[in-house]
Chains A and B, each alone.
Chain A
């Protein structure tokens, strides 16, 4: 009888573990994400050429006093193709400051992608050599950061932006810090 109880207990624990693993695989956030050590820290400064305006520079300093989003993308990144139409829609319907960081991309390919899907970005910094990307601890694309008015990194989202993602923590954080004085 006692042996049976031990065996039953083992079965219960094992199935709970199995259920937890199974459940976590269903979760879209199962995609391995590495927590960013930048959260709560000042945003790494960058000063890069503009993708669209040759001769112009895009500097992180020019967004001080505003809450902004930094979206890392490249024309070589399929998930970026998928999120692009929604970003265009979002930029058209909501008051957001969306800064693009075009990462490790050929200029012609990047421009072609913008022509194809539209340009949701207010400005785009061109980071061919991963100068800013390494400073921001970027390890894949797309990645999106929320930076508050004091220039502190508040949130990082790894993966594409969908309506569900924007309705979730990413959008909530951005709206919160954009409304903050």
Chain B
């Protein structure tokens, strides 16, 4: 029974297997390069998919082009440059750190620092308010109480 189930499961996987492309490479390095590149390159018409995962026509075209360039013996950087010269950095899932992308990298940390500063300020102020033992605030409170008493006297008269 268990074997039958396993066979059935295998049967279900058949069409999946048939859908993959059959590609031949000169050496394992080329194959690794191709796999790496298709995972690194974004399918520009999809919602956040790389060209390895997407079945869109454009992704198929870009995969074929990548395959051709890999077979021609182009290096990883050459192929990434080839793509970004045509489709812009949008096609790269790991774009170079330029002015704009640098802001994206360090922006959150700037926000975090600003938030920490705000929290520190609020905490310091609250602590000062809840802790009227310091000489200065005690004097201030005393002065305020006297002022209130004086005002009350003036109101009466």
Binding site for B on A (CB under 8 A): 34-38, 44, 104, 130, 133-137, 139-140
Pair B87/A137 contact, Cβ less than 8 Å: yes
**Contacts A134-B61, A134-B65; A37 near B45 (Cβ below 8 A):** no
B40 to chain A, nearest CB (A): 17
Q: Which of B84, B85, B86 has the most CB of A within 10 A?
A: B86
Kindly list chain A residues whose C-beta atoms are within 8 Å of the C-beta of B88: 34-37, 137
Kindly list chain A residues whose C-beta atoms are within 8 Å of the C-beta of B84: 37
- Chain B interface, number of residues (Cβ within 8 angstroms): 13
Pair A139/B57 contact, Cβ less than 8 Å: no
Pair B85/A139 contact, Cβ less than 8 Å: no
B96 to chain A, nearest CB (A): 13
Kindly list chain A residues whose C-beta atoms are within 8 Å of the C-beta of B61: 104, 130, 133-134
| Of B58, B62, B86, the contact of A37 (CB 8 Å cutoff) | B86
Closest residue to A41 on the B side, CB-wise? B85
- B49-65 vs A, Cβ < 8 Å mask (1 yes, 0 no): 00000000110011001
| Of B45, B62, B90, the contact of A134 (CB 8 Å cutoff) | B62
A76 to chain B, nearest CB (A): 9
A15 to B45 Cα, complex, angstroms: 31
Closest residue to A34 on the B side, CB-wise? B90
Closest residue to A104 on the B side, CB-wise? B57
| Of A37, A44, A104, A130, the contact of B87 (CB 8 Å cutoff) | A37
B114 to chain A, nearest CB (A): 16
Kindly list chain B residues whose C-beta atoms are within 8 Å of the C-beta of A36: 88
Pair A37/B85 contact, Cβ less than 8 Å: yes
A119 to chain B, nearest CB (A): 25
